[in-house]
Amino acid sequence: MTYLPNRGDIVHLDFDPSSGREIKGPHFGLILSGKLFNQRGLAMICPISQGAAAAARTYGTVVTLMGAGTDTQGAVHCHQLKSLDWQVRNVRFKESVPQHILDEVLARVEAILFE
């Protein structure tokens, strides 16, 4: 059976092509859309990075995974939400985040989109 991404899943996939200040290359990402949406081949995904994101942290647009109980560490970049074709980006399931992390990410995305 083929994996179908679900809301709250951490996956590994390729974010390229990308340009400018977008996260590039293979990274982990957090799936925000549900299975019903994702079954059509696209998913809404926030990249996860361990790199420097001082400006994003200053503006409150990242959620840390440090201390969340996940094997995946780093920060979820809520300001870089993307709709990606997960089927052609070699998506691989890693793990799921605790509900409180998902809730915090969704709240920050909502604040960005509907301020």
Instruction: Give domain status of residue 106, yes or no.
Output: yes
Instruction: Give domain status of residue 99, yes or no.
Output: yes
Closest Cα to residue 49, out of 31, 30, 68? Answer: 30
Instruction: Give domain status of residue 1, yes or no.
Output: no
Give CA–CA dist 36/13, Å, rounded: 20
- Note the pLDDT tens digit of each residue in 41-82: 999 999 999 866 555 566 778 999 999 999 999 999 999 999
CATH number for the domain spanning 79: value is: 2.30.30.110
Tokens of 101: 């992390």
Instruction: Give domain status of residue 42, yes or no.
Output: yes
Instruction: Give domain status of residue 22, yes or no.
Output: yes
Number of domains in the chain: 1
With H, G, I as helix, E, B as strand and everything else as coil, classify residue 35. Answer: helix
Alpha helices in the chain (DSSP H): 35-38, 54-58, 99-113
Burial class for 104, CB neighbours closer than 10 Å (0-12, 13-18, 19+): middle
Q: Which domain holds residue 63?
A: 9-113
16, pLDDT greater than 90? no
Instruction: Give domain status of residue 31, yes or no.
Output: yes
Instruction: Give domain status of residue 57, yes or no.
Output: yes
Predicted model pTM: 0.91
Instruction: Give domain status of residue 2, yes or no.
Output: no
